[in-house]
């Protein structure tokens, strides 16, 4: 067999072109339906059955089970999905990924796709220059679709014909004549192939081409498909390595689910192969055991039947899978179960449109963190126990460090998302959240500065009068009211955000600040309290008013008002 390095590079390049087309197609459809997919994730995972439907739908759309499962791991890590919901979504993703095989089998081998693929790219290309985001995203999808099939055509031609390479058949015969051991060997080959190309869809495409060209038979192709189901779990497990215990459990549940399916299918393998052959022959088709051109459809049917059957069997055992993974990966305590922003990097960046969903949740938690810090500062004003005062002061200092770190990590994550191809709508969301993120960090700084002011005031025994304390308490309450309204606005869909109430609260804060300031200067003139305590008092109510300004900035960002 004359198979040169150039021929091998042509094969690798063809596979690369296929993967690139899939990537472009996936990103285009994400931009086209990003908001809808985010809504689906939020609403359709109420139970394991709805989770299966969610995973099926999203994976069918973005054409990558790896993207879906890694995203699910990331969402579990961020506390957006429970473990049971995640397992359901993963089961659905396994079914959704079978759509690729059907598209390739029905079109890639039955129709001369090169004839159609180039015009499809021609239709999509002008759309890239459209000012409308949806039309531009549709253009990307069409180009990706065309490039995918161009890659498939090159893949088909780059795999050598067995008639000119009969010695390769002898090599394959050596692997196929060992009964169940042969099946195990091809399962391992399928696992390795998927791990190497990091895409079960690309591995499936290569398997279909090899079968169609007669390099491997139906049984060997089916065994490779089973191996691909194991190999596709590796990406999620890698992503979960730096996640919390729930993220690791979600990834492990994916492995258990797929591995269990491969084991029981291995037991009934010969029966399954016969059943599919009989079904195709009775339907008027050719036997995949005798006709290589019948193998792609047979393999697609095997792939889908296996994943549907596996889901149907194991969906009733989700609770047991949950118990197994919780036993294998025990909790490290309350600290580990808390969602940590440093695990943002476990997100799957090729699903940038969906990553925004996670980022928004993290921004909301950032807001809750700064509100807790504000409550601590308020408690310092009225704390008379020195030990408790110092403990609260120490907590505020720790929160300042945490807030600084979180601000950097959220910003880094959003910048990473923005570096990928995203829609204009998603780009606006990124800018909005970056602005929120920056203002939350400034609120944290102001809270820390106020705690230092209160500490100095106490050390210098510059006591406030009952009136000063009462006025500051009222201002704190107004700021907390503004905080609550702001958090509600962040939770809403962008188009539903109304900031009239937030503006009214901000105006109330400003009026109250002006009122306090007039009273303050009048009291100083009368000599009601000393200059030193007056200075600390002025710093505190001014800082609280500045916090109100930052809260208003966040409201405007949520409503996309004055967004730079």
pLDDT at 479: 92
Instruction: Say how far residue 433 (Cα) sits from the centre of its chain.
Output: 17
Q: Cβ(22)–Cβ(148) under 8 Å?
A: yes
What are the boundaries of each domain within the chain?
5-334, 353-558
Q: At which residue do the structure tokens 């060209």 appear?
A: 213
Mind listing the pLDDT tens digit for each residue in 73-93? 656 665 556 777 778 888 888
Give the CA angle between residues 136, 138, 142 to the nearest 5°: 115
Provide the 10 A C-beta neighbour count for residue 129.
Answer: 9
User: What are the distances in angstroms from CA 261 to CA 53, 68, 217, 229, 311?
Assistant: 19, 19, 22, 9, 9
pLDDT band with cut points at 50, 70 and 90 for residue 335: very low
pLDDT in tens, 26-71: 677 666 655 555 555 555 555 667 777 777 776 766 655 666 666 6
Helix (H, G, I), strand (E, B) or coil at 174: helix
Q: What is the largest CA-CA distance in the chain?
A: 107
pLDDT band at 452 (very low <50, low <70, confident <90, very high): very high
Q: What angle do CA 507, 513, 516 make, to 5 degrees?
A: 145
pLDDT at 446: 93
The CA radius of gyration of the chain, in Å to the nearest whole number, is 30
Distance from CA of residue 240 to its chain's centroid? Answer: 12
Q: Where are the alpha helices (DSSP H) in 159-294?
A: 166-176, 180-197, 200-212, 218-231, 233-240, 245-267, 269-282
Q: Which residue has the higher pLDDT, 362 or 433?
A: 433
Map residue 287 onto helix, strand or coil: coil
Q: In terms of Cα–Cα distance, which of 399, 404, 410 is closest to 345?
A: 410
Full 3-state SS string of 259-271:
HHHHHHHHHCHHH
Number of Cα atoms under 13 Å in the Cβ half of residue 390: 3
- For 505-553, the pLDDT digits (tens) are 999 999 999 898 888 888 777 777 777 788 888 888 899 999 999 999 9
Unique residue bearing structure tokens 């290589």:
292
- Whether the model clears a pTM of 0.75, i.e. scores above it, the answer is no
3-state helix vs strand vs coil in the chain, percent to 5 = 85, 0, 15
CB–CB of 4/122 below 8 Å? no
The DSSP 8-state label assigned to residue 240 in this structure reads H
Do the beta carbons of residue 457 and residue 533 sit within 8 Å? yes
Measure the CA–CA gap between 454 and 322, rounded to whole angstroms.
49
- Which pLDDT belongs to residue 340? 45
| Cα(302)–Cα(360) distance, integer angstroms | 40
- What average pLDDT score do residues 151-172 get? 58
Handedness of CA 504, 509, 512, 513 (dihedral sign): negative
Query: Residue 62's closest CA among 107, 15, 100?
Result: 100
**CA–CA dist 356, 151 (Å, integer):** 31
Q: Yes or no: say if 363 and 82 are a contact pair by the CB < 8 Å rule.
A: no
Mean pLDDT of the chain: 78
- Residue pLDDT, tens place only, 216-271: 788 888 888 888 888 878 766 766 665 667 777 878 888 888 899 899 998 888 89
Measure the CA–CA gap between 542 and 516, rounded to whole angstroms.
10
What pLDDT was estimated at residue 282? 86
Residue whose pair of structure tokens reads 């689906």 in the numeric block: 40
C-alpha angle 480/481/484, rounded to 5°?
Answer: 85
Average the pLDDT over each of 62-66, 181-185, 428-432, 519-523 and give the range with the smallest value.
62-66
Tokens of 123: 């239709």
Rounded to whole angstroms, how far apart are CA atoms 92 and 65? 9
Half-sphere exposure of 63 (CA within 13 A, CB side): 27
Main-chain phi, psi angles of 248, to 5 degrees: -65, -40
**CATH architecture of the domain formed by 353-558:** Up-down Bundle (1.20)
């Amino acid at each position: 067999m004359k198979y040169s390095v150039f021929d091998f590079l042509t094969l690798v390049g063809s596979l690369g072109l296929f993967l690139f087309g899939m990537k472009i197609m996936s990103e285009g459809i994400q931009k086209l339906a990003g908001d809808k997919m985010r809504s689906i994730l939020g609403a359709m995972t109420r139970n394991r059955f709805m989770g299966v439907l969610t995973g099926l739908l999203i994976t069918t759309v973005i054409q990558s089970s790896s993207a879906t499962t890694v995203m699910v791991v990331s969402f579990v890590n961020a506390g957006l999905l429970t473990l049971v919901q995640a397992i359901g979504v993963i089961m659905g993703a396994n079914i959704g990924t079978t759509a690729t095989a059907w598209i390739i089998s029905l079109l890639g081998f039955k129709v001369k796709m090169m004839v159609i693929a180039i015009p499809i790219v021609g239709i999509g290309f002008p759309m890239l220059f459209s000012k409308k985001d949806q039309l531009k995203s549709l253009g990307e999808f069409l180009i990706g679709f065309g490039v995918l099939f161009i890659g498939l055509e090159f893949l088909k031609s780059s795999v050598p014909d067995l008639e000119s390479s009969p010695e390769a058949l002898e090599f394959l015969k050596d692997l196929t004549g060992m009964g169940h051991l042969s099946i195990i060997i091809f399962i391992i080959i399928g696992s390795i192939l998927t791990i190497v190309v990091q895409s079960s869809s690309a591995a499936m495409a290569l398997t279909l081409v090899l079968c169609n060209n007669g390099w491997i038979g139906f049984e060997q192709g089916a065994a490779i498909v089973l191996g691909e189901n194991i190999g596709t779990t590796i990406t999620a497990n890698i992503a979960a390595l730096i996640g919390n215990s729930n993220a690791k459990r979600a990834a492990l549940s994916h492995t258990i689910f797929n591995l269990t399916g491969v084991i029981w299918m291995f037991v009934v393998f010969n029966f399954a192969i016969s059943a599919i052959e009989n079904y195709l022959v009775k339907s008027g088709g050719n036997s995949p055991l005798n006709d290589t051109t019948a193998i792609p459809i047979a393999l697609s049917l095997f792939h889908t039947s296996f994943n549907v059957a596996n889901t149907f069997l194991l969906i009733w055992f989700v609770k047991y899978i949950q118990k197994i993974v919780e036993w294998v990966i025990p909790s490290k305590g309350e600290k580990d179960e808390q969602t940590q922003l440093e695990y943002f990097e476990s997100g799957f960046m090729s699903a940038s449109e969906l990553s925004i969903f996670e980022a928004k949740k993290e921004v909301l938690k950032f807001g809750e963190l700064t509100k807790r810090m504000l409550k601590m500062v308020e408690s310092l004003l009225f704390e008379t126990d020195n030990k408790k005062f110092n403990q609260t002061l120490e907590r505020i200092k720790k929160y300042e460090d945490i807030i600084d770190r979180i601000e950097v990590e959220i910003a880094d994550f959003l910048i990473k998302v923005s570096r990928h191809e995203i829609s204009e709508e998603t780009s606006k969301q990124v800018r909005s959240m970056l602005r929120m993120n920056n203002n939350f960090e400034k609120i944290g700084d102001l809270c820390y500065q106020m705690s230092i002011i209160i500490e100095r005031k106490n050390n210098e025994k510059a006591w406030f009068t009952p009136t000063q304390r009462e006025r500051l308490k009222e201002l704190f309450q107004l700021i907390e009211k503004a905080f609550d309204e702001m958090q509600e606005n962040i939770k809403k869909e962008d188009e539903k955000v109304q900031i009239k109430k937030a503006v009214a609260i901000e105006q109330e804060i400003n009026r109250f600040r002006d009122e306090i300031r007039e009273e303050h200067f009048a009291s100083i003139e009368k000599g009601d309290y000393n200059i030193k305590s007056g200075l600390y008092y002025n710093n505190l109510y001014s800082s609280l008013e500045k916090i109100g300004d930052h809260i208003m900035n966040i409201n405007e960002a949520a409503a996309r008002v004055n967004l730079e």
